[in-house]
């Protein structure tokens, strides 16, 4: 079964190979401000629970893609445009792969519609970007033999 760690590694891989993403973070959203100097655009992935049902587990994530907005907001529309396209790239990679080595993912992005929500001035720095909530599904066989026993 694909694990939570393997999925986190996929997000890092996407950030590493996409030429327009310069920083990556994973964890609680409030940790963005404490992560030190950020080289934007930033891909930040926040875990948001999981769903267990017959035959599969769904790992839920909140994905944020953001870039810095200049003082006076003269580039805000450009930032929203560029980060929207990068977010589409990320979702495409999660759905079908293709960004190089390591793209044979053993999870599935099943959502036919994913809402992208724009944001502006959301954090300490003046940033704008997009947020998407997704669930990545992995097979699970209820295998009792995998349970550690004494």
Residue-wise pLDDT for 18-58, tens only, equals 999 999 999 998 887 665 688 999 999 999 999 999 999 99
State yes or no: pLDDT of 131 exceeds 70: yes
What spatial distance separates the first Cα and last Cα of the chain, rounded to whole Å?
A: 22
**What topology does CATH give the domain 4-142?**
STM4215-like (3.30.2000)
Distance CA 83, CA 57 (A): 29
pLDDT tens, 84-114? 999 999 999 999 876 555 556 789 999 999 9
Q: What is the mean pLDDT of residues 7-26?
A: 94
3-state secondary structure of 27: coil
Give per-residue burial for 76-115: e unless 16+ CB within 10 Å, then b. Answer: beebbebbeebbebbbebbeeeebeeeeebebbbebeebe
Query: What does the pLDDT read at residue 143?
Result: 65
Distance CA 125, CA 116 (A): 21
Domain boundaries, given as residue ranges, for the chain: 4-142
Q: Please tell me which residue, 8 or 30, carries the higher pLDDT value.
A: 8
- If pLDDT is split at 50, 70 and 90, which confidence band does 125 have? confident
CB-based contact 62:45 (threshold 8 Å): yes
């Amino acid at each position: 079964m694909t694990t939570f760690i393997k999925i986190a590694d996929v997000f890092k891989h996407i950030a590493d190979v996409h030429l327009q993403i310069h920083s990556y973070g994973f964890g609680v959203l409030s940790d963005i401000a404490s992560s030190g100097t950020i080289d934007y655009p930033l891909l930040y992935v926040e875990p948001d629970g999981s769903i267990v049902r017959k035959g599969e587990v769904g790992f839920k994530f909140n994905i944020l893609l953001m870039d810095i907005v200049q003082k006076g907001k003269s580039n805000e529309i450009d930032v929203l445009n560029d980060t929207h396209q990068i977010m589409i790239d990320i979702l495409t990679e999660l759905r079908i792969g293709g960004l190089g080595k390591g793209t044979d993912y053993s999870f599935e992005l099943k959502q036919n519609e994913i809402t992208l929500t724009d944001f502006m001035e959301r954090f300490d720095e003046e940033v704008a970007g997009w947020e998407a909530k997704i669930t990545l599904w992995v097979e699970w066989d209820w295998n009792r033999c995998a349970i550690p026993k004494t």
